[in-house]
Amino acid sequence: MFRILSILFTLLVAGPAFGQAVVTTDNVRAELISEAATVKPGEPFWVALRQTMKPHWHTYWKNPGDAGQATDIKWTLPAGATAEAIVWPVPAVIDVGGVINYGFSDEAMLLVRITPPAGPATGTLRLEAAAEWLVCNDVCIPEEGKFALDLPVGPAAKPATAATLALFDKARRQVPTDSPWPARFGVAKAAGDKTGDPTLIVEAKGLKPETVRDVYFFPAEWGFVAHSPKHAAVVTAEGIRVPLKKGDAKAAVPQTLAGVLVLTEKTADGNQRQAFNVSAKFDPAFVPAPMPLAALATDEQLTLFEALLFALVGGLILNLMPCVFPVLAMKAAAFARLAGTAPGEIRRDGLAYTAGVLASFGAMAAIVLAIRASVGEVSWGFQFQSPVFSLLVAYLFFTVGLNLSGLFEISGRFTGMGQGLVGRGGTTGAFFTGVLAVIVATPCTAPFMAAALGFALSQPGPKTVAVLLAMGLGLALPYLVLSLTPALQRRLPRPGLWMDRLRQLLAFPMYASAIWMVWVLVQQTGADGVLYALGGMVLIGFAIWLLRFGPAETLAGWLRRGTAIASIALALAAVVKIEEGSATASSSPSGGASTGVSFDGWERFSRARMTEAVAAGKPVFVDFTAAWCITCLVNERVALETPATRRAFEQTGTVKLKGDWTNRDPEISALLKELGRAGVPLYLFWPPGADRPKILPQVLTEAAIVSELSSIQQAKR
Amino acid sequence: MSNFTVHRRSLILGSAAVAMVPAVAWPSSDLGKAAPAFSATDSNGKAWSLAELKGKVVVLETTNHDCPYVRKHYISTNMQTQQREAAAKGVVWLTVASSATGEQGHVTAAQANELTRSRNASPAGVLLDPQSKIARAYGATVTPHMYIIDAAGMLVYKGGIDSIPSSDVADIAKATQYVRVALDQVLGGKQVADSSTRPYGCTLKYPRTST
């Protein structure tokens, strides 16, 4: 009896060791699967360890982050066979109470390339794998499994079932693509001889900032870069700039920084998540500017009190921004006028002005909350990188400068209702001066406002409102204090000629600021930006000069007005042109060969050529792309330009047409419109003899195209 | 004008940084600087404060007795051995139970004493840190996360207990025991060579309500 039991026991223990493809633990179902049903000697094929986790449990990436441990596979293979390292899918950031882990929830396919020995084409290939993984939800459990897979060896490789192939196809889509752009990183200076925080630049030139968001960089290793919950990346003319935090390793700055960059691209038909393997070279010449606000902020958590204090100081600083100068001048004039009147009136004036500022900031808070409620997470930084914004601000600086110089006066008639109210004087006037202060201050201080908004946005509703109101209070504070303190009022200089002189002097910083904005614009658009910006300024100056002749209700008066409006319209038309132009500039080959649209192996799309090839009964594949479209680029890399796809195109004699929509080519625009598409990527496939094209999905895979092409081959037979 | 440009540019960067403020509010203890002060009561009711330990070398060991990585070093008696070695050299070794109330690894005083007895452990004390305050002050992310504070109160080591991040007992013999090496260097009056190493283990169980 005892012997039988012991034999049974031995069988139970020995049985599961290497003999199965599926291991089910308490929290994970793990399976070793192969993409090949039959393998050919010497011909590499792919297998995967497929982990399916219980809900809320996760396993780890190669760099597990602050805690955890990566899955490890040890192979036992027949002589001559080799297994390569795991090809990891893109991980997710798993934030456990501030401890940042990188891993996989739900499911992970860990791909491994196996090369069988180059032996006779008979028998079986036995793959044995001992895998260890850590699986965690709130608690962590190390688990392991021993797997075995017997694959028949034959003279020709045969693929696994369609369901298995689909799994591999999906897994490949989750593997990062090699970055099409070069990358570099620099390190900020820090106190003493220490190194500061690194900043990564992926030189993806010519992207559209407003279409790229949720950028995150997963460092491949522990040490040099800290694992952060988020990265506040910005898209600039030089590429994607990702400020990082330095990690805990004490070692010197490495020569390369490897990792995975993920981002979401907003395309015409929805959001695409993209991931790239990045290997950034250390660039000693690139020393990122230290970030004063960040330094203040990152050491400790901002309490609400501190946030309010920062916002108040921020508001005070807004008073120093050149845009607010004209309002300052108005305010100064108002005070001068009120000097000597009853202190009560001055106090009322100060309070009304403050109320106006606060009401505007309150309105802004309401807008912010409304946007957040409708869109979810809001990212502000990006829109301020737009060339249109730069141009409009340059115009604004210039116009305000002209005003300060005295070329024209802000009168009720000229700027309409708002100014009319301001001009009214008294309490109402003071209130609307406050509103005006915020309106003029906002655009030219946008980057600064972005800081406040960025913070405010990440807060719960009431905090958002409080922070913005504190900023408003800061803006109004100097006047409020002045109006409430008669002792200070007495020290104000008397009104006089100096006020006009001061005002005229203030025009020069405005002109200088306008020049700076034009310079920024040129960075974004290229040299053409100068033409449009300066041309627009001349038109604005012309319009103002025309309108100065006064309100003659004569034909000549109307003519002048009409011409002025036409000039302004023309100046604004430059804005539209700039938006289109920015795409043109970015497609210029300045960023190296990889940034422009490549026509290697493709014909240039034209409608005539497409119609002709279709009529000739040839299969036609059309790729509509643009230099700024990341998804297009990824599709090319993973699906359109792979050896297998190229071969399939060649074998089927497919006519390959590529349409470059970087410059919004009108012929392509018209076609997109016909097909009900708002933009690229768009892929059309005309099987031979078809009367309408097939619209392929926006995210392509090699398998999808190859199967599309092979279906026509089969139809031919 | 160029100054102005730089200023505005840094503001843009600053704005980006401020946007991530609430999330990156994770204190991290700096090597070569004064170690974050703490005071706590141990499982025997004894009060400890770092300030009063000046003049002595102190080791902090975050713990969670159910974490497989902690268990690895107790089942193998690696941790207990190092605790005894340290005590013999006059080092104050404090085990810090930082799992929040209700989380895995949280212990009462009695449970902590029972663990010390059953595992034959030998720390100078087991600090009860149910609100994870000590762990937070040091920026501990895992259990076990190890710290060494020198006689002057400076943080001279932070990181893992050893060099092989695994839960396998068999790896201990092959690994460099970072804490032991660092302690010898500190006691020998030398600079710690590997003063910041990769900590590995289970995620430290912080209170859930806090961020």
Residues 6+ apart with CB under 8 A from A564: A542, A543, A544, A546, A547
> Which one-letter amino acid corresponds to residue A710?
S
Residues 84-103 of B with CB under 8 A from A: 103
Q: Strand A655-660 vs strand A620-625: parallel, antiparallel, or unpaired?
A: parallel
Spatial distance between the Cα atoms of A312 and A472, rounded to a whole number of angstroms? 7
Q: Tell me whether residues B4 and A448 touch, CB distance under 8 A.
A: no
Q: Tell me whether residues B22 and A294 touch, CB distance under 8 A.
A: no
Least confident of A94-98, A228-232, A253-257, A710-714: A710-714
* Measured torsion, CA atoms of residues B115, B120, B125, B131, in degrees rounded to the nearest 10: -20
Nearest C-alpha in B relative to A452: B15
Nearest C-alpha in B relative to A450: B15
User: Which ipTM score applies to this complex?
Assistant: 0.79
CATH number for region A18-172: 2.60.40.1250
pLDDT in tens, A331-358: 766 666 666 666 677 788 888 888 888 8
In a domain, residue B86? The reply is yes
Q: Strand A270-282 vs strand A177-178: parallel, antiparallel, or unpaired?
A: parallel
Q: Tell me whether residues A458 and B22 touch, CB distance under 8 A.
A: yes
What pLDDT is attached to residue B178?
Answer: 97
Write out A656-706 in H/E/C secondary structure: EEEEECCCCCHHHHHHHHHCCCCCCCEEEEECCCCCCCEEECCCCCHHHHH
Domain that holds residue B83: 27-203
Nearest C-alpha in A relative to B158: A248
Spatial distance between the Cα atoms of A133 and A26, rounded to a whole number of angstroms? 13
The answer to whether residue B25 scores a pLDDT higher than 80 is no
Closest CA to A125 of A222, A36, A220: A36
The answer to whether residue A130 scores a pLDDT higher than 80 is yes
Half-sphere exposure of B83 (CA within 13 A, CB side): 20
Residue found by looking up tokens 């930084």 in the block: A381
In a domain, residue B63? The reply is yes
Mean pLDDT of A290-297: 40
B48 at interface of A, judged by CB pairs closer than 8 A = no
Q: Tell me whether residues A141 and B68 touch, CB distance under 8 A.
A: yes
Least confident of A123-127, A315-319, A381-385, B28-32: A381-385
In a domain, residue B7? The reply is no
Nearest residue, CB atoms, A455 vs list B19, B159, B205: B19
| Exposed e or buried b per residue across B168-179, where buried means at least 16 C-beta atoms within 10 angstroms of its C-beta | eeeebeeeebbb
What pLDDT is attached to residue A391?
Answer: 82
Q: Tell me whether residues A293 and B14 touch, CB distance under 8 A.
A: yes
The structural domains of chain A, with segments of one domain joined by +, span 18-172, 183-297, 304-396+406-505, 603-716
pLDDT in tens, A499-544: 778 778 877 877 877 887 787 777 667 777 888 889 999 998 888 8
pLDDT in tens, A603-658: 999 999 999 999 998 999 999 988 777 788 888 888 898 899 999 999 999 999 99
Interface size between A and B, measured as CB pairs under 8 A: 178
Q: How confident is the model at residue A420 (pLDDT cuts 50, 70, 90)?
A: very low
CA of A187 to nearest chain B CA: how many angstroms apart? Answer: 15
Nearest residue, CB atoms, A297 vs list B8, B21, B27: B21
CA angle A560, A561, A564 (to 5 degrees): 85
B7 at interface of A, judged by CB pairs closer than 8 A = no
pLDDT in tens, A677-693: 777 888 999 999 888 88
Structure tokens at A67: 């805690």
Q: Tell me whether residues A69 and B103 touch, CB distance under 8 A.
A: no
Spatial distance between the Cα atoms of B16 and A311, rounded to a whole number of angstroms? 15
CATH number belonging to the domain at A183-297, selected among 1.10.3470, 3.40.50, 1.10.510, 2.60.40: 2.60.40
Spatial distance between the Cα atoms of A312 and A317, rounded to a whole number of angstroms? 9
Q: What are the chain B neighbours of A138 within 8 Å (beta carbons)?
A: 103-104, 205
Q: Tell me whether residues B203 and A68 touch, CB distance under 8 A.
A: yes
Q: What's chain B's length in residues? A: 211
Contacts 24+ apart (CB under 8 A), A427-432: A427/A348, A427/A349, A427/A352, A428/A352, A430/A334, A430/A348, A430/A349, A430/A350, A430/A352, A430/A353, A430/A356, A431/A352, A431/A353, A431/A355, A431/A356, A431/A359, A432/A356
Structure tokens at A256: 């390369």
Nearest C-alpha in A relative to B164: A69
> How many CB atoms within 10 Å of residue B110?
9
Q: What are the chain A neighbours of B23 within 8 Å (beta carbons)?
A: 228-230, 458
What pLDDT is attached to residue B30?
Answer: 82
Closest CA to A293 of A306, A283, A304: A306
In a domain, residue B186? The reply is yes
In a domain, residue B165? The reply is yes
A590 membership: H or E segment, kind and range: none
Residue found by looking up tokens 């600021």 in the block: A513
Q: What are the chain A neighbours of B18 within 8 Å (beta carbons)?
A: 293-294, 297, 451-452, 454-455
In a domain, residue B121? The reply is yes
Q: What are the chain B neighbours of A250 within 8 Å (beta carbons)?
A: 31, 194-196
Mean pLDDT comparison of A240-244, B8-12, B82-86, highest-scoring range: B82-86
Give domain A603-716's CATH superfamily.
Glutaredoxin (3.40.30.10)
Nearest residue, CB atoms, B208 vs list A97, A136, A455: A97
Write out A230-290 in H/E/C secondary structure: CCCCEEECCEEEEECCECCCCCCCCCEEEEEEEEEEEECCEEEEEEEEEEEEECCCCCCCC
Least confident of A273-287, A402-416, A567-581: A402-416
Structure tokens at A9: 């026991």
Q: Tell me whether residues B13 and A450 touch, CB distance under 8 A.
A: no
Separation in Å, CA A641 to CA A262, A316, A627, A686:
22, 56, 16, 19
CA of B194 to nearest chain A CA: how many angstroms apart? Answer: 8
Q: Tell me whether residues A250 and B196 touch, CB distance under 8 A.
A: yes
In a domain, residue B64? The reply is yes
Strand order in the sheet with A45-53: A22-24, A28-34, A45-53, A107-115, A82-83
Residues 6+ apart with CB under 8 A from A191: none
Spatial distance between the Cα atoms of A16 and B147, rounded to a whole number of angstroms? 42
Q: Tell me whether residues B23 and A139 touch, CB distance under 8 A.
A: no
Q: Tell me whether residues A229 and B142 touch, CB distance under 8 A.
A: no
Q: Tell me whether residues A516 and B5 touch, CB distance under 8 A.
A: yes
Q: What are the chain B neighbours of A380 within 8 Å (beta carbons)?
A: 15, 19
**B208 or A64, which is more confident?**
A64
In a domain, residue B14? The reply is no
Q: Tell me whether residues A297 and B167 touch, CB distance under 8 A.
A: no
Nearest residue, CB atoms, B14 vs list A230, A292, A458: A292
Structure tokens at A244: 């990082």
Q: Tell me whether residues A243 and B5 touch, CB distance under 8 A.
A: no
CATH number of the domain to which B108 belongs: 3.40.30.10
Q: Tell me whether residues B203 and A516 touch, CB distance under 8 A.
A: no
Q: Tell me whether residues A69 and B200 touch, CB distance under 8 A.
A: yes
Q: Tell me whether residues A299 and B207 touch, CB distance under 8 A.
A: no
Mean pLDDT of B12-34: 49
Q: Strand A212-219 vs strand A620-625: parallel, antiparallel, or unpaired?
A: unpaired
Mean pLDDT of B132-151: 94
Nearest residue, CB atoms, A232 vs list B20, B103, B203: B20
B5 at interface of A, judged by CB pairs closer than 8 A = yes
pLDDT in tens, B153-182: 999 999 999 999 999 999 999 999 999 999
Q: Are A621 and A704 in contact (CB under 8 A)?
A: no
Spatial distance between the Cα atoms of A418 and A421, rounded to a whole number of angstroms? 5
Q: What are the chain B neighbours of A67 within 8 Å (beta carbons)?
A: 141-142, 199-204
Q: What are the chain B neighbours of A197 within 8 Å (beta carbons)?
A: none
B193 at interface of A, judged by CB pairs closer than 8 A = no
